[in-house]
Structure 1
Amino acid sequence: MSAVETFNGLPAERLEKDLLACLAAPSWGAEIIAKRPYPDRAGLLAAADAAASALSWPDVLGALSAHPRIGERAAGDSKEASWSRTEQSAAAQTADDVTRAALIEANRAYEARFDHVFLIFASGRSQPEILAAARERLGNGEETERAIVRDELRKIARLRLERVLDAL
C-alpha cells in the first residue's frame, strides 16, 4: 500500500494532529482531509499547496504564532517543534556571533514593521542568507510581504507534509 493510500484511509482525527504539526491552521488541515481520497502524492501535495495559498490572513497569523523566531530554538517535544529545530539547525551552525546578533536585530525590526514574526523557509539556507532576506523584506509593502509570508508558510507546510507521508 502506498503512503497516499494509507493517508487516504486514516481516520480524520488521526490526520488532524499530523496536519496541524505541518501547518497550524485548522482550516488547511480540514480542507486536505475533506478532499480525500487523493490519486497520488502529487495530487495530495498540489491540494495542500492550493489550500495554503488560499488561507485567509487571520489563518496565516494564527499559523505564524506556532513558529519561533528565526535563530531561536523551538521549545517542547511536539512534532512541530522537532521539525522546526531540524529546519533551522543547519542555518544555526553556519552563523557567527555577529550574524546571530544582526539576525536578532532584523527580527525585531521586522516584527515592529509587520507585527508578526519573520518567516522564511530556512531549510538549506545559511544564517547570512536568511539575514539578507530579512533585511531585503523589510523594504516590502504590506501586501507584498503578506504574499511572501503565505508562500513561505506553504513551502514549510509542504516539506512537513512530505515528512508525514514518508513516515506512513
Structure 2
Amino acid sequence: MTRGPTLPAHRLPHPSGRPAVPALPEQLRTSPPSRPPLDVFNTAPADEAHRLLLACLRSNRWAHRIAAHRPYPDPGALLAACDEAAYDLSPADLAEALAAESLPPLPADTYGAAHTALSAAHAAYEARFGHAFVVCLDGVPPQETLDRLLEGIRSRLTNDPEEERVVAAEELRRLARERLCDALGATGAHTGGSGRTAPRV
C-alpha cells in the first residue's frame, strides 16, 4: 500500500497531549468583560486576527479571507463566513491545513495498550492517506475519546482517497467552527453550518 502524496508523517501525541495549533492570542483571551470578544476580533490588527484564525484552521488563504471581510455584525455571521471559506478549500489548502493537525490527546489515565492500538490504527491511516486523522470530537466525553478515534479511523480506512478528502475537509470545517466558538466565547454555536451539506463520520 503506497503512502498518500506530499504530506509528512505525524507522530502520535504524548499521552498527556499537546495542542495541534498555537495558543490563541493573549489580547482575545484576556479582553475585558466590557468589550465583547467579537468586537476585539473585528478591530484587531490584521496580523493578530490572522494569528487567531490560524489557531482555528491552519490555512493561510482561509484565514486571510475571513480576516479581510471584517467587521462581522454578530457571531453567526462570522461562523457562516468560516463555514463558507472552509467549504471552498482547494486541495492545496486542505493539504496545508491537514499538515498542521494531530490526533486529539487521550485522557492522561488512558492505559498503555490503548496508545498502542491507536498508534497502529493511525499508522495504517497515514500510510493510506498521507496525513493525520482528523475528527471533531465536540461534545464527546473524554472517557469516550479513544473509542471514537479508533472507530472513526477503522471505518474511514475503507474510504477511497477522494472520499476521505471530502470527509477530512468536513471534519476540518467542524474543528475550525469549534475552535472559533471557543475563542470568541460563542457558546451554543459549536454545531451546525451554513446550510450546505457534506459527508460526516
Q: Normalised by the size of structure 2, how large is the TM-score?
A: 0.68
Q: Distance in 1 between matches of 2:45 and 2:164?
A: 36
Residue 92 of structure 1: how far off its partner (Å):
2.9
Task: After superposition, give the CA deviation of every residue in 1:99-118 in whole Å (9 maximum; x if it has no partner).
Answer: 32111111111111111111
Alpha-carbon RMSD across the aligned residues, in angstroms, is: 1.9
List runs of 5+ in structure 2 lacking aligned partners.
Answer: 1-34, 187-201
Residue 98 of structure 1: how far off its partner (Å):
2.8
The structure-2 alpha-carbon separation of the partners of 1:44 and 1:128, relative to structure 1 and needing over 3 Å to count, comes to: same
Residue of structure 2 in register with 1:161 after alignment: 180
Q: Distance in 2 between matches of 1:7 and 1:115?
A: 34
The structure-2 alpha-carbon separation of the partners of 1:34 and 1:65, relative to structure 1 and needing over 3 Å to count, comes to: same
Residue 46 of structure 1: how far off its partner (Å):
0.8
2:145 to 126, 131, 139: 126
Q: Distance in 2 between matches of 1:56 and 1:92?
A: 34
For 1:34-113, what aligned pairs fall within 5 Å after superposition? 34-68=68-102, 70=103, 88-89=104-105, 91-93=106-108, 95-113=110-128
1:115 correspondence with 2:130: yes
1:13 correspondence with 2:55: no
Residue of structure 2 in register with 1:139 after alignment: 158
Q: Distance in 1 between matches of 2:79 and 2:109?
A: 31
Residue 94 of structure 1: how far off its partner (Å):
6.8
DSSP 3-state at the match of 2:185: helix
DSSP 3-state at the match of 2:63: helix
1:4 correspondence with 2:43: no
Kindly provide the amino acid, as one letter, of the partner of residue 164 in structure 1.
A
Q: Distance in 2 between matches of 1:93 and 1:133?
A: 21
* Contact 1:99 1:128 (8 Å CA) reproduced: no
Determine what percentage of the aligned residue pairs are the same residue.
39
Q: Distance in 2 between matches of 1:114 and 1:121?
A: 18
Q: Distance in 1 between matches of 2:164 and 2:61?
A: 22
| Equivalent pairs, count | 148
More helix by share: 1
* Contact 1:106 1:135 (8 Å CA) reproduced: yes
Q: Distance in 1 between matches of 2:179 and 2:109?
A: 23
Q: Distance in 2 between matches of 1:92 and 1:54?
A: 34
Kindly provide the amino acid, as one letter, of the partner of residue 141 in structure 1.
D
The structure-2 alpha-carbon separation of the partners of 1:94 and 1:151, relative to structure 1 and needing over 3 Å to count, comes to: farther
